[in-house]
């Protein structure tokens, strides 16, 4: 019986952890966001998120090989975790995209956090790649948000960062709900 419990726990972990980076995966993030939004709606707070994407990652893979690209993907969470709080959750959303789910309620503080993370990545010398950058989109939940709608706004802000020249932080436009 104990062995079955250990096996079930291992399966649960495998289903929720990204095998390459060791951080939560998209499946886990969706559940985390849903729970965080439910709590925020119940108590009248917000859920800010930071979506980041490594700039020119295809070029890194094409130049150095996918094994080096994978090494960069495993180094990135280590760098990010050094500058996140215990209460923040890092997620590999997919490919070269990561999400930070934070319980910070001040939008300005979240934007500063994103800027600190951006600067840390830009200043780091990755194994064999050297310097690389990432673009960031920040969004804060609204009362009507679902995980998908919150992620969509963060993705739109990330797109603005890419269009604005990369290696920058953009904040999703404010919208007042009635």
Residue 69 is classified by DSSP as H
CA–CA separation, 156 and 158 (whole Å): 5
* 28's tokens: 């886990």
96 catalytic, yes or no? yes
Q: Which two tokens stand for residue 52?
A: 């980041």
- Is the CB of residue 31 less than 8 Å from the CB of residue 86? no
Pick from 124, 151, 127, 125: which is nearest to 140 by CA?
151
Q: Which of 96, 97, 104, 170 is catalytic?
A: 96
Residues tagged active-site: 96
């Amino acid at each position: 019986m104990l062995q079955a419990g250990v096996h079930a726990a291992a399966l649960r972990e495998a289903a929720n952890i990204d095998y390459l980076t060791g951080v939560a995966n998209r499946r886990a993030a969706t559940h985390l966001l849903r729970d965080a939004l439910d709590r925020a709606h119940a108590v009248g707070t917000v859920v800010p998120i930071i979506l980041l994407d490594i700039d020119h990652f295809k070029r890194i893979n094409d130049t150095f090989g996918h094994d080096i690209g994978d090494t960069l993907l495993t180094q990135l969470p280590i760098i990010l975790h050094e500058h996140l709080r215990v209460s923040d959750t890092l997620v590999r959303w997919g490919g070269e995209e990561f999400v930070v789910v934070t319980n910070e309620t001040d939008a300005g503080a979240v934007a500063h956090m994103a800027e600190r993370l951006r600067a840390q990545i830009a200043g780091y010398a990755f194994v064999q790649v050297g310097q690389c950058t990432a673009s960031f989109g920040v969004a804060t939940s609204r009362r009507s948000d679902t995980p998908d709608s919150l992620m969509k706004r963060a993705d739109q802000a990330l797109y603005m960062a890419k269009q604005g020249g990369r290696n920058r932080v953009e904040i999703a436009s404010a919208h007042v709900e009635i």
